[in-house]
Structure 1
Amino acid sequence: MKIEHVVLRVVQALRQGNLSVFAGAGLSMPAGYVDWKGLLQPLASELGVDIDRETDLVAIAQFYYNSKGQNRTRLSQRIIDEIGVSVFPTKNHEILAGLPIGKYWTTNYDALIEKALERAGKVADVKHDIGQIATTKANRDSVVYKMHGDASLPQKAVLIKDDYERYAEERGPFVTALSGDLVEQTFLFLGFSFSDPNIDYILSRVRLRLQGNQREHYAIFRERSKGDGESEEDFSHFKARQDLVIADLKRFNIQVVLVKEYSDITLFLERVEALFRSPRWFLSAGCSNFEPWGESEVSNFMRKLGAILIDNGIHIHCGLGLGIGNALLTGALEQVYRSSEPRVEKHLTLRPFPRFIDDDVKRAELWTAYRKQLISGCGYAIFIFGNKIQDQTTLVANGMIEEFEICLKSGVIPLPIGATGWASREIMRRLRGLPTWKLMPSTIQAAVEGLQHEVESLELLLHPITELIKSIER
């Protein structure tokens, strides 16, 4: 499949809340962990076997186990030495953790997924033993199924042929849970080679039971390229084999996207993230001095703006800024109840700021954390007005400036409506000198520039804002 089609379908699954990720060793290798060949290479060398000429790595692990009088100590030690060490999650893990993915499945023993989720402020319910399947961690955001075990308990890891042969009997709940998820969830396979016999068995069970009605899933493969020193004959063999694997996966309705480099997986995930976040806009606005338009015109403008944003499919994240928040909310809610999907939570994320905190330092700290959470997950941020009155003097709202800075750090694209003055005008002045502005498509730049000129009536801004939204959609 073309990569842009898969991006769209993955984003659709995310929005519907039914995307799951299946992570293989290839997702962990950029962090510094070895793949199966790297794990077993010294053991294969002891056996007098060239690991690079082997395809059945489970058999190699079994042969080593047999050679040690069916003792697992050395195998367990390899897992501890290579995967028990702590490393940081990769960019790919961080992107995934920032998305609303409810379930992760992996054959890896490492803790990179759960670490990334923790760093993203999420609660991971990790299950690497059947005794954990029936329990639920309170307030969990994601479930991480480690179907082959965890590096913390290497002696229980699924590694040798004996383990695979007993898997359905000893770890049956994992088989049942994965089979169910493959029916109900859309899977994105990353860094997975599909050489694992357990997965092949489970996919086959699902295929036979659904008889050609399987859910569509997606996998990202690095296209086989000719290695340094590799003969033309060997390259042709492995390239042909990859083509056959891709064709065979269609039996399970798994569509494969080929990328040239592993770094292209990051680009793919960044594209998914950007497209998923794009309809979510943070609205930063506050107004205590309504001049030169007057409070009535400002309120009317904000009410109509709220309706326009909802009507154009924007999910508004907002803290209900002083002076204008209620007008925005009114217009947005009116449009929500006129829409075909009148559930407020589908269109609005509203979090009024807590104001009754006497300690200025504590209040500032809380508001910063509050802003970061509210902005998180948005693709764009629109800045309107931005003034406050202090000691009878009208000042630029420093809270909006802070929100602008948070947006830059979070990858959220700022869209200041400088025509409304104050913080919005200052934000536009700063934005013009930043890479974020220079990297914007020229059509979006032009649409934003058109919203910087002073207007006699705020009503004149509504059409250009609508055109800006459409330009971003295109």
Structure 2
Amino acid sequence: MPISVRDLLDQYGEAALSGNASLFVGAGLSQDAGYPGWGSLLAEARLKGDIPDDVTDLPLVAQYYVSGVPGGRDTLDDEIRSQMTTRPYLPTLGHKSLAALPIDDIWTTNYDTLLEEVMPEARVIATESDLQLRRIPARRRITKMHGSFSVSNPKTWLARPVITRSDYESYEQKHPRMWSSLRATYLTRTFLFLGFSFTDPNVDILLRLARSMATTASEHFTVLRKPSATTDERLHALKVRDLEASGVAVCEISNYSELTPLMEQLVRRTRPPLLFIAGSGAGHLDSVKALGKTIGHMLADLDDPIELASFGGAAGIAVSFPFAYTLRAIGKYNPSRIGFHFRESHSPPPPLPERAGTAVYASKEVDELRAELFPNCRAMLVLGGGTTTKTEVETAQKLQLPIIPLPGSEGTARRIYETSTIEDLLGGGVSDADRRDWKFLANPEFGVSAHAAVRLVRRAMYLAGR
């Protein structure tokens, strides 16, 4: 049975954080950038070669073109180059999110250079000779299994494309180092195959690896596009079951446009477990202090290595100091787990009640500080607050940061709780447990609402199951 996006993020994200993850990028990510899909890429070749539409094996279409059209293979390679260089193509947000992941080993069958453009520091492996051991290793590498254009001259082939049926059938013989490297990586790392569908000829790589090196446990993952035609659903289900039986967990999407949001969530999943505390106590300081104290003690008592960040306001102090007190009491205190970030100001920042955590003084305006700090957080907790807190919440929403407001603390926290849905503030994939705790946030008993908030924080930060 296919797994949920949440399960994919939990399990593969853990492999990425442990440094044991590899990524295999298929055509879906390039299509999202505007590149033609397989059918469109070979449409002109099919027409020129007078190849019937009922030949659905696209590498076979390419094979028939090579054997039947003057110029053969050179003409086909030129035709593909022409199709893929009609206009400039730019990396998508999905490519940029991929570059932000803590993954140093990326494989792809795509010919384009979008991955290299967002990861210019990466070493590109496009030929057998590129895998020679005497080459200087790089922190990251991108292996282009099926050919590639040149980054410096995008209209020139760096490595000729693998595209005909004979290219596929002779791949292991002609590219023994590349194939052996892939097999070794499959055996020693956790792969995520991203941007494939069963109509993509390159999905055969996944199927061959899965069947030849099957495992009893789900050690690898793939995101597959569901079939658009109802008649294909049964065959799709059988192929999914085949993969699952071989140790590959399957997460399904309806369209390639869903890849970018998934990548953004994966980036957040692999950040440090940093929780931002937003809010102030203007007009409701007592409730902010009461809720903050309870939540701070509870967060510190968890086994999860949560870290806190704030701008040193009333809400940040209300949570951070009880958090520090409890950490000290149980022997787990580390000042790096609490950060007070102070912006540039004409007057000195307010003094902290006592020494705890780490104070960071930045020569930056508040907007710059938000733009720098928020993308490094996994979630935001809101207590009280006024117009400044409202701006912080809006900024967090644009970054798709999960937001947990405490309505009992009044102010902005209450307003956004009462005017937003759980999906508005937590995003997709909301569980029944999330909905129950969302209701408990408004409980007048602060102990009840604090417990609900901590449970929501843990799940939003991928620190607990649903």
User: TM-score, structure 1 length as denominator?
Assistant: 0.67
1:150 matched residue in structure 2: 148
2:371 matched residue in structure 1: 372
Shift of 1:14: 0.3
1:14 matched residue in structure 2: 13
2:309 matched residue in structure 1: 318
Query: 1:257-276 alignment to 2 at 5 Å?
Result: 257=251
2:442 matched residue in structure 1: 449
Determine helix, strand or coil for the equivalent of 1:217: strand
1:470 matched residue in structure 2: 455
Query: 1:27-176 alignment to 2 at 5 Å?
Result: 27-50=29-52, 52-66=53-67, 67-70=69-72, 72-82=74-84, 85-89=87-91, 100-113=102-115, 118=118, 125=122, 127-130=124-127, 134-137=135-138, 143-151=141-149, 152=154, 153-154=156-157, 156-161=159-164, 163-164=167-168, 167-168=171-172, 171-176=175-180
Q: How many residues align?
A: 422
> How far apart in 2 are the matches of 1:328 and 1:132?
55
Q: 1:202 and 1:405, CA in 2 relative to 1: closer, same or farther beyond 3 A? A: closer
Aligned residue type for 2:122: D
> How far apart in 2 are the matches of 1:137 and 1:22?
18
Conserved in 1, the CA contact under 8 Å of 2:122 and 2:138? Answer: yes
Aligned residue type for 1:110: D
2:26 matched residue in structure 1: 24
Q: 1:180 and 1:359, CA in 2 relative to 1: closer, same or farther beyond 3 A? A: farther
2:196 matched residue in structure 1: 192
What percent of counterpart residues are identical? 23
Q: 1:261 and 1:302, CA in 2 relative to 1: closer, same or farther beyond 3 A? A: closer
Q: 1:218 and 1:354, CA in 2 relative to 1: closer, same or farther beyond 3 A? A: same
More helix by proportion, 1 or 2?
A: 1
> How far apart in 2 are the matches of 1:351 and 1:136?
36
Query: 1:347-426 alignment to 2 at 5 Å?
Result: 350-353=338-341, 365=364, 367-376=366-375, 378-384=377-383, 398=388, 400-417=389-406, 425-426=411-412
Aligned residue type for 2:275: W
Shift of 1:75: 1.8
Determine helix, strand or coil for the equivalent of 2:161: coil
> How far apart in 1 are the matches of 2:3 and 2:157?
37
In structure 1, list runs of 5 or more residues that go unmatched: 227-234, 387-395, 452-459
Determine helix, strand or coil for the equivalent of 1:182: helix
Conserved in 2, the CA contact under 8 Å of 1:14 and 1:100? Answer: no
> How far apart in 1 are the matches of 2:47 and 2:299?
64
> How far apart in 2 are the matches of 1:271 and 1:255?
18
In structure 2, list runs of 5 or more residues that go unmatched: 349-360, 427-433, 460-465
Q: 1:225 and 1:332, CA in 2 relative to 1: closer, same or farther beyond 3 A? A: farther
> How far apart in 2 are the matches of 1:268 and 1:38?
26
Conserved in 1, the CA contact under 8 Å of 2:384 and 2:413? Answer: no
Q: 1:246 and 1:285, CA in 2 relative to 1: closer, same or farther beyond 3 A? A: closer
Conserved in 2, the CA contact under 8 Å of 1:320 and 1:326? Answer: no
Query: 1:204-353 alignment to 2 at 5 Å?
Result: 204=208, 208=212, 215-223=219-227, 225-226=229-230, 235=231, 241-243=235-237, 245-250=239-244, 252-257=246-251, 281-284=275-278, 305-312=295-302, 313=304, 315-319=306-310, 321=312, 324=317, 327-328=321-322, 330-331=324-325, 333-334=327-328, 337=331, 350-353=338-341
> How far apart in 1 are the matches of 2:310 and 2:44?
58
> How far apart in 2 are the matches of 1:180 and 1:305?
46
